[in-house]
């Protein structure tokens, strides 16, 4: 009896195994077409080589040696400074001197000044200043320092003895000498106007010794 039951169990077990195998095989046969279809998609893609046939291969550039190149240097540009156009007559310093000289003369003629002081010089001299004359410079410097709105016109003159050009330079030296006294005393340079007048605007007759002595002078106009 036991033997019969064992045989029956074996038969049933074999039957179940066969059944499972049949089911699995049938399922696999169903999915195979889908895999085949999937691979057929890739097979339908266009030929990559044919599709890219219009793309040109990169051009090979041969190496160029440094000696093969010839660089043309730009033509050297030379800029020539044009000569400044100088109007006939006077340069800038002379024009400024003429302007200051005329200003001094016009203010003196108009009487629109606060003070007029005169320093006298010996023949062909421009440095020596007497003590009394230095005191005049000192007083004027004090006023200019106290009130910076004031200005002073320092004009140098000579007599008519000798060369006119030399006298012009000598009159400038006389005026500049007084200016340096003012600067040393602390006057602002912007308050000082200097002019060289040479033999122009004589204060006395140059035909006499006394007149020539009077013309060797520096005039100082204190201007409001």
Tell me the CATH number at 198.
3.30.1330.60
Q: So what's the pLDDT on residue 48? A: 41
The answer to the question of residue 36 being in a domain is: no
Which DSSP category does 148 fall into?
T
Instruction: Please tell me the distance from the alpha carbon of residue 48 to that of residue 53, in angstroms, as a whole number.
Output: 9
181 assigned to some structural domain: yes
Give the pLDDT score at 91: 87
The tally of domains found in the chain comes to: 1
Confirm whether 209 is domain-assigned: yes
Residue 219: inside a domain:
yes
pLDDT at 75: 44
**pLDDT value, residue 78:** 35
Task: List Cβ neighbours of 126 (8 Å cut-off, separation of 6 or more).
Answer: 156, 170, 173, 174, 177
Predicted local confidence at residue 90, as pLDDT:
61
**Could you write out the DSSP letters of every residue in 117-138?**
EEEE--TT--S---HHHHHHHH
pLDDT for position 72: 44
pLDDT at position 69, please?
41
In a domain, 217, yes or no: yes
Give the separation between CA 209 and CA 63, rounded to whole angstroms: 98
Mean pLDDT by 10 residues, the chain (224 residues): 59 59 48 42 44 47 44 41 45 94 97 97 93 95 98 98 96 98 97 98 96 98 97
What's the pTM? Answer: 0.61
Between the CA atoms of 77, 80, 81 and 85, what dihedral angle is there, to the nearest 10 degrees?
Answer: -140
| Beta bridge pairs of residue 152 | 192, 222
Helix then strand then coil, % of the chain, to nearest 5: 50, 10, 40
φ, ψ of residue 221 in degrees (nearest 5): -105, 120
**Within-domain flag for 2:** no
Enclosing domain of residue 161: 114-223
């Amino acid at each position: 009896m036991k033997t019969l039951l064992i045989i029956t169990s074996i038969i049933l077990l074999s039957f179940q195994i066969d059944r499972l195998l049949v089911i699995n095989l049938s399922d696999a046969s169903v999915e195979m077409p889908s895999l085949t279809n999937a691979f057929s998609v890739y097979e339908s893609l266009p030929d990559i080589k044919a599709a890219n046939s219009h793309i040109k291969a990169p051009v090979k550039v041969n190496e160029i040696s440094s000696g093969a190149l010839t660089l043309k240097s730009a033509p050297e540009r030379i800029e020539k400074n044009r000569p400044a156009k100088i109007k006939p007559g006077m340069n800038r310093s002379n024009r400024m001197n003429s302007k200051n000289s005329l200003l001094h003369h016009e203010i003196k003629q108009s009487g629109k000044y606060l003070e007029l002081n005169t320093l006298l010089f010996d023949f062909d001299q421009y440095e020596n200043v007497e003590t009394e004359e230095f005191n005049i410079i000192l007083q004027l410097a004090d006023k200019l320092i106290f009130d910076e709105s004031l200005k002073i016109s320092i004009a140098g003159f000579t007599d008519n003895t000798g060369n006119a050009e030399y006298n012009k330079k000598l009159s400038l030296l006389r005026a500049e000498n007084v200016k340096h006294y003012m600067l040393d005393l602390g006057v602002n340079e912007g308050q000082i106007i200097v002019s060289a007048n040479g033999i122009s605007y004589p204060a006395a007759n140059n035909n006499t010794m006394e007149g020539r002595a009077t013309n060797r002078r520096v005039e100082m106009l204190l201007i409001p």
